[in-house]
Amino acid sequence: MKYEQLARNILRLVGGKENVISVVHCITRLRFQLKDETKADTEALKNLDGVVTVIKSGGQYQVVIGNHVPDVYKAVISIGGFQSSQSVQDEKKQNMFNRFIDVVSGIFTPTLGVLAATGMIKGFVALFVSLGWLNSSSGTYHILYAIGDSLFYFFPIFLGYTASQKFGGTPFIGMAVGAALVYPALANLTSGKALYTLFSGTVFESPVYITFLGIPVILMTYSSSVIPIILAAYFGAKVENGLKKIIPDVVKTFLVPFSTLLVVVPLTFLVIGPIATWAGKLLGQGTVAIYHLSPLVAGLLLAGFWQVFVIFGLHWGLVSIAINNLSVLGEDSILALAFAPSFAQIGAVLAVMVTTKQQKLKTLSIPAFISGVFGVTEPAIYGVTLPLKKPFIISCIAAAVGGALIGIFGAKIYMIGGLGIFGIPSFIDPKHGITFSLWGTIIAITVAFLLGFILTLLFGRNKATDHAPSRQATDQATDHNTPSGEMIASPLTGEIKALSTIEDAAFSSGAIGQGVAIEPTEGRLVSPVSGTVTALFPTKHAIGITSDEGTEILIHIGMNTVQLEGKWFTAHVTEGTRVEKGDLLIEFNIKEIQAAGFETVTPVVITNSAEYTDWRITDKKHIQAGEPILALHKTNQQHIQIGEPSR
């Protein structure tokens, strides 16, 4: 299994599988619900190879992985012995808001990939019909439309599975309840003369066509519905678990689902379904009312803060409302207003990419831009704009303008479609085809993109990105007595290599910071500066030091050596230890590490490198521990010449 070791490390650092209540994944991150978040080693996880960052929000412990998160998730599920998307232990107490976010993300995230895929097909079918490329009476149209509409039409069945898992019930019982709700024969019973009408003269007026044991049944249209099956699955899980306690083990296999279905399905048709449907319609009308108060302000605020919501996982509450709106209203304005932010983000990334003189940042920006075009913006946010701060703020401003324009044009989506450019067909009205609101959306996202690009060019440039690192050791210092720069000594004896030559993309791309790599010939790591040990990994393979001048240095001995779990590493300091330049920090056995199949090339990275505008790296090929290897200076600081210590 390709990601087995990464999965093992993640589970270990979140406090072990016994600390996991549940785990699901979205497009780029693992979403853990932990019993005790204090048991998780957040800093170690953030620095783990294969992990982008860690976010704690909405009652979830979110480990950002990237586009290959589905593969990592499968490995985590397999190694942890969990059932996919299912609660592992009794849930911990959370406030109502965190509980809501956790529930909706756990229910909807497993369906998102297929939901987006089928929505894209449905959107393109609508586009082709509008353009006259496809006849709506042709067999091709009907088959393609069936593919695109299948999941959303039978959504209660799919949500019956995921909701039952989330609530601790049997998934197939949840699916059976969902299937009963969309059973075709029941839908046909609403034709003809009604037996009588309930709640006449009110907004809840309902004709009754059938009864169950003499009790009137209010038949609703449950295809594509969301709230009824979620409530039914919650109630079903409670009933099922209660029955398990009283039904003998010898007949549990069939008698528990038998009894559960006989209780839950009729109750859903009689009570849960009608009430949930009315609640869903009220929720939909409520969001429409808020939207119509001022579409401009709604778009400005929602789009402007959308990326912040995404970072903390808070957007799930709005996504669930949007899906409900599509099911009860056939359209939604929430996700329509939130369509602009990804285009504002890639505009800012493109500006960074074309202006930066740092090759590593430019290299990192290219895949981030491409992912953002297709709606996956986490690489752009975490890898480029958020670390640089100004571009991220500018992208939020540009997104707000784009969202305001979408509100002004009155654009709505009519299906859950793809992300990024693949989401454009979602704005095609199935009844009226291509309307001005679609063109208005295209104008809005173009404005958001251009604003993100132009404003970042004008105001978002970071001096740390405007200068390429200088590798010329022959530049003369103008004043060796200035304290404005800092000389970093080599922590190892060995051969110097460019950081970009090592295999680990997190280091070679410059995502973690600028620096240099050393292939050690001696297994002694000494302090490159005078300062404080701010991080020492339990496995002793990596250490963080902050110098007295404020330079933050990360030294990572070898590649993937975290897998050795501390074997052949001996630490001589602890976190918080005050060290002087040249003090022994760690000893390690080079031969044993290499014999175990691990590289010992060691990155020496300045993690706050954005604060420095110029770099000077020694031109030596082989260096002794304690010899000058890096010289740094900030804005308006004088250069330090490598080879002479700063005073």
- What are the extents of the domains in the chain? 4-94, 154-287, 294-466, 485-633
Match 């105001």 to its residue by tokens: 459
pLDDT at position 562: 81
pLDDT tens figures, 273-314: 888 888 877 877 787 788 888 899 989 998 998 888 776 656
Q: Could you list the active site residues?
A: 26, 556
For residue 2, what are its two tokens? 């390709």
**How open is the CA angle 411-416-417, to the nearest 5 degrees?**
90
CA separation for the pair 506, 241 (Å, rounded): 46
Q: In the chain, helix, strand, coil percent, each to 5?
A: 50, 15, 35
For the chain, helix (H) and strand (E) counts, in that order, are 24, 22
Tell me the pLDDT tens digit for each residue of 344-390: 999 999 999 888 877 667 777 887 788 788 777 777 786 788 777 88
CA atoms of 371 and 397, how far apart (whole Å): 21
Tens-place pLDDT, residues 212-223 = 998 998 888 888
What confidence score (pLDDT) does residue 502 get? 84
Cβ distance 204 to 288 under 8 Å? no
Check residue 97 and give its pLDDT.
59
Tokens describing residue 185: 């024969």
Q: Which two tokens stand for residue 414?
A: 């009519």
User: What's the rounded mean pLDDT across residues 124-148?
Assistant: 88
Give the pLDDT confidence score for residue 444 in this predicted structure. 95
CATH superfamily placement of domain 485-633: Glucose Permease (Domain IIA) (2.70.70.10)
Q: How many residues does the chain have?
A: 647
Domain 4-94 has CATH 3.30.1360.60: yes
Beta bridge partners of 552: 546
In this prediction, residue 641 has a pLDDT band, given cuts at 50, 70 and 90, of: very low
Q: In a 3-state reduction of DSSP, which class is residue 216?
A: strand
The Cα angle at residue 70 between residues 66 and 73, in degrees rounded to 5: 100
Q: With contact defined as beta carbons under 8 Å apart, do 217 and 183 qualify?
A: no
Q: What is the CA radius of gyration of the chain?
A: 29
CA distances from 429 to 17, 151, 289, 411 (A): 47, 19, 21, 10
Q: Report the amino acid identity of residue 453.
A: F
pTM over 0.75: no
Other beta carbons within 10 angstroms of residue 334's beta carbon come to 24
Residue 119 tokens, joined: 């929505």
Helices (H), 87-226: 96-108, 112-130, 139-153, 155-167, 171-181, 184-187
Alpha-helical (H) ranges within 85-111 are 96-108
